[in-house]
Amino acid sequence: MTDARTTAGTTALQQPTLQVTDLHKAYGGNEVLKGVEFEVRKGQVKAVLGPSGSGKSTMLRLMALLEPADRGDISLHGTRIGRTPEGRHLPERALAVQRRDIGMVFQKFNLFPHLTAARNVALALHAVQGIGRHEALERAHAMLDRVGLSQRAGHFPSELSGGQQQRVAIARALVLEPDVMLFDEPTSALDPELVGEVLDVMEGLARGGMTMIVVTHEVRFARRVADEVTLFDSGVIVEQAAPDEFFDNPQHERTRRFLSHVH
Ligand SMILES: Nc1ncnc2c1ncn2[C@@H]1O[C@H](COP(=O)(O)OP(=O)(O)OP(=O)(O)O)[C@@H](O)[C@H]1O
């Protein structure tokens, strides 16, 4: 009994939080993902770099179950998600339940313009988890405090800077207490002077133990915060390594060429 429990516990610890195997996706005849193998473990931060159009966003969207893969598996804590055990795509209602464990932040914040920051965050709790208005608002305020926006909770998106709006979007994802957070170029739509405040929030989350995958062009952030950096090119992973290795001693010519353009 004890042995069985220990074994199960050890297995759970070793399992990636989120994992994709042999992931394929094509749009029309355009093969965008060509058998990607990728995983993130509990508390790990993975940065994903790569040229435009290499398939980074597509991988995140598939991982977040926002669209189906053509082939391959996506697993959360070792359990396949997005498909039935027989391999059929799950219906929307079942997908919605599985999506709750995976938070996603996009380049565009997509806040509701007619709702205050607090209500934007509370709406997620209310709509997705059915939590009552009062409690949802209380938790929204606590989450806005965590991203440094307690003073802005009553403001509408139009009254907030882009950086502040993105922090609201981060709070909206966090309030659902996801097991893993996916960031898809969260600072690309921001004026340069607003990038830092969003990266600071993300760094705080990373230091606090959040499991994160970050698609980004912010090389310095990747070097400073990530446990591992991945280079995507043309739908495949070219190189994955710890930041010092990746940036100072890349093994692949493609990585060297990529870094020569971004450094
Ligand atoms: N819904 C879609 N329909 C058709 N083609 C798509 C769709 N989504 C992505 N693509 C194509 O797939 C390829 C990969 O796109 P993706 O957005 O995943 O790349 P990316 O590496 O994230 O690029 P970027 O850094 O520019 O965001 C591109 O050629 C893109 O045009």
Residue-wise pLDDT for 2-19, tens only, equals 344 444 445 555 799 999
**36, 38, 56, 62, best to mutate for ligand 1 pocket (most atoms within 8 Å of CB):** 56
What is the model's pLDDT at position 8? 47
CA of 55 to the centre of ligand 1 (A): 6
3-state secondary structure of 149: coil
> Given the CA of residue 28, which atom of ligand 1 is nearest to it?
4
Q: ipTM of the assembly?
A: 0.96
Mean pLDDT of the chain: 92
Q: Which residues pair with 102 in a beta bridge?
A: 180
- Helix or strand (DSSP H, E) at 32: strand 30-40
Residue-wise pLDDT for 144-191, tens only, equals 999 999 999 999 999 999 999 999 999 999 999 999 999 999 999 999
> Cα(80)–Cα(249) distance, rounded to whole angstroms?
35
Residue-wise pLDDT for 86-129, tens only, equals 888 888 888 988 999 999 999 999 999 999 999 999 998 988 88
Residue owning the nearest CA to atom 4 of ligand 1? 27
3-state secondary structure of 65: coil
CA of 105 to the centre of ligand 1 (A): 17
Residue-wise pLDDT for 189-233, tens only, equals 999 999 999 999 999 999 999 999 999 999 999 999 999 999 999
228-248 mean pLDDT: 97
List, in order, residues 6 or more apart from 106 with CB less than 8 Å away.
Answer: 169, 184, 186
What is the sign of the dihedral through the CA atoms of 145, 43, 87 and 24? positive
List, in order, residues 6 or more apart from 257 with CB less than 8 Å away.
Answer: none
> Cα(75)–Cα(65) distance, rounded to whole angstroms?
11
CB 213 within 8 A of CB 205: no
> Given the CA of residue 235, which atom of ligand 1 is nearest to it?
14
Which single residue is written with the structure tokens 């994992």? 19
